[in-house]
A and B are shown apart, each in its own frame.
Chain A
Amino acid sequence: MASRRHIRWHIPVFLAPAVFIYTAVMIVPLFNTMLLALYSEADQQRVFVGLANYNKLFGDERWAAGFWNALVNNFWFFVIHMLVQNPIGIMLAAIFSSRHLRFGTFYRSAIFIPTILSFVIVGFAWKLILSPIWGIAPSMLDAIGLKSLYSPWLGKEEYALTTLALVSVWQFVGIPMMLIYAALLAIPDEILEAGECEGITGMSAFWKIKLPLVLPSIGIISILTFIGNFNAFDLIYASQGALAGPNFSTDILGTFMYRTFFGFQLQLGDKYLGAAIASAMFAVILIGVCIYLFGIQTRLRRYQF
């Protein structure tokens, strides 16, 4: 500290490894991917083609249909998470945060277990359970008299995507649960006691006091869910394969990009078009993050305790 003019070499030494790896393996490839999207291959030579890949992606009927199908599916995937995962997570968190709950730690640890499993395990486990061959799902529905409701959900175009989204919800409900639980614990007791003096207890305390206070956390969870969903791939790949069957009904942007990049069956892989899809995914995520940062986060009122 004594010699300010002197170059403090320890600062670059501390920073260099992290900045170097992050830049070389993450940021530069990110830019290169967007650059690659502007090229194509002709006679084994890389040629600059401008926006031709995007033209193909959005203009060519076959590609455009695939892209919009994946994007719409991806939105539905996200909507299910928002409508099912986050409310269940908030409900469980609210229960955990109530005083005098016994065995709370046990329940929390148990409900969090699916979150630590890999998509491969989760995808196959549910595939087996829902399979008509094994028959666990139909026989369980039979036990409660609802056998008529059973159908091979993962094999039907109209149900497969929703089923997989619900499987993903089952896996990840632990995350909103924990984050909201932490936010609820951070609410000072005085506020709740003040509410009690006014006669606000139980459910109405939750709706009128707790929920408004944890809205910023719910906002963060929503944007994390958004990023995670629009970058999802593993669950669909593990349970339905790269073709995202039946008939592409479970295709989302991640599987669409993978198929385009590496090719499948008779279609050859095209990394330049894959890069264009990746750039489109980047744009979708960026738009989502911007909507959150400028449209939602600034409007959420934060309270200082």
Chain B
Amino acid sequence: MQKVRRSPFNLFAVHAILITYTAIALFPVVVILINSFKSRKAIFRDPLGLPDAESFSLVGYSTVFEQGDFFGYFQNSMIVTVGSLFFILLFGAMAAFALAEYRFRGNTLLGLYLALGIMIPIRIGTVAILELMVATGLVNTLTALILVYTAQGLPLAVFILTEFMRQVSDDLKNAGRVEGLSEYVIFFRLVLPIVRPALATVAVFNMITIWNDLWFPLILSPSEETKTLTLGSQVFIGQFVTDWNAVLSALSMAILPVLVLYVLFSRQLIRGITAGAVK
């Protein structure tokens, strides 16, 4: 439309579009957060206003803390997320190293077999996964969730990490071999530190998916002791539908940890997505 790329009108239009879209993206989050600090009356009288001295209220938060075990849920989510990430990264990196480093019969085939899981969602197998967990007595344990998320995360992790492992210089590894280091030492001491950025990418991706998942907690471990934060807030909100203060506070409590993590890791995440796409 415009011939000159930097004409003032163009620049104005660009920022207008971006500001509008940013507002659309942030509006619901902001509305939830500000209203969670207001009294019930103020929530309805002036939903878009900031809480002031008169309308400020923490009644929603106190209901949430009294009625729901949010610290317990948070702890469960942490255990599941950190545990799954540990196994995805460790086992994924080990398999990726073997696929990238050694030539053996069936290498390509095994790589394809592992990559299959990128295209097929693990949820399709839920019925049999539940049977498996019932048979092994793992229903309503966090172990069940960690196992499922590890299996879910491995295909993409192996795929991405194999690409990165191929780029690690052979000289380094061969120098290690000349020194008489075992293959295990070469992997843990020499190769793993080099692919740390790739590990971070895989970790951030999986972190969001695992933390936010509702399906498997709902099916595999819905008991009160093993609820994750996502499931816990879903159930809590379902019970308190008419208590707007409590619902808004519960939503805010679910938003905040993710938001904090995002602010801390957004650089890695965005770099990770862009790096993954260029590959």
Closest to B207 in A: A116
Please state if A121 and B127 are interface contacts (CB–CB under 8 Å): no
Please state if B126 and A285 are interface contacts (CB–CB under 8 Å): no
CB distance from A223 to the nearest CB of B (A): 8
State whether the Cβ of B189 lies closer than 8 Å to any Cβ in chain A. Answer: no
State whether the Cβ of A49 lies closer than 8 Å to any Cβ in chain B. Answer: no
State whether the Cβ of B29 lies closer than 8 Å to any Cβ in chain A. Answer: yes
State whether the Cβ of A67 lies closer than 8 Å to any Cβ in chain B. Answer: no
Please state if B121 and A185 are interface contacts (CB–CB under 8 Å): no
Q: Among the listed stretches B13-21, B50-58, B59-67, B192-200, which one makes contact with chain A, having 4 or more residues with CB under 8 Å of it? A: B13-21
Question: Looking at chain A's contact residues, is the secondary structure mostly helix, strand, loop, or mixed?
Answer: helix
Interface residues of A in 11-29 (CB under 8 A from B): 11, 13-15, 17-19, 21-22, 24-29
Please state if A111 and B22 are interface contacts (CB–CB under 8 Å): yes
Interface size on B, residues (CB 8 A): 96
State whether the Cβ of B12 lies closer than 8 Å to any Cβ in chain A. Answer: no
Interface residues of A in 114-137 (CB under 8 A from B): 114-122, 124-126, 128-129, 134-136
Please state if B26 and A113 are interface contacts (CB–CB under 8 Å): yes
Using an 8 Å CB-CB cutoff, how does the interface string of B1-24 with A read, 1 for contact, 0 for none?
Answer: 111111000100010011001101
Please state if A25 and B273 are interface contacts (CB–CB under 8 Å): no
User: Across the interface, which residues of A come within 8 angstroms of B278, CB to CB?
Assistant: 182-183, 185-186
Please state if A282 and B124 are interface contacts (CB–CB under 8 Å): yes
Please state if B237 and A14 are interface contacts (CB–CB under 8 Å): no
State whether the Cβ of B31 lies closer than 8 Å to any Cβ in chain A. Answer: yes
Complex: A24 Cα to B133 Cα, angstroms = 11
State whether the Cβ of A245 lies closer than 8 Å to any Cβ in chain B. Answer: no
Using an 8 Å CB-CB cutoff, how does the interface string of B251-265 with A read, 1 for contact, 0 for none?
Answer: 100110011011000
Please state if B128 and A275 are interface contacts (CB–CB under 8 Å): yes
Closest to B29 in A: A113
User: Across the interface, which residues of A come within 8 angstroms of B121, CB to CB?
Assistant: 227, 231, 285
Q: Among the listed stretches A56-64, A232-240, A296-304, which one makes contact with chain B, having 4 or more residues with CB under 8 Å of it? A: A232-240
CB distance from A102 to the nearest CB of B (A): 8
Please state if A120 and B3 are interface contacts (CB–CB under 8 Å): no
Please state if B147 and A25 are interface contacts (CB–CB under 8 Å): yes
Q: Chain A residues in contact with chain B, CB under 8 A?
A: 1, 8, 10-11, 13-15, 17-19, 21-22, 24-33, 36, 88, 91-92, 95, 98-101, 103, 107-122, 124-126, 128-129, 134-136, 139, 170, 173, 175, 178-179, 181-183, 185-186, 201-203, 217, 227, 231, 233-234, 237-238, 254, 257, 261-262, 271, 274-275, 278-279, 281-282, 285-286, 289
Known: A29-B128, A135-B44. 5 other contacts (CB 8 A): A19-B95, A26-B125, A120-B212, A120-B254, A183-B278
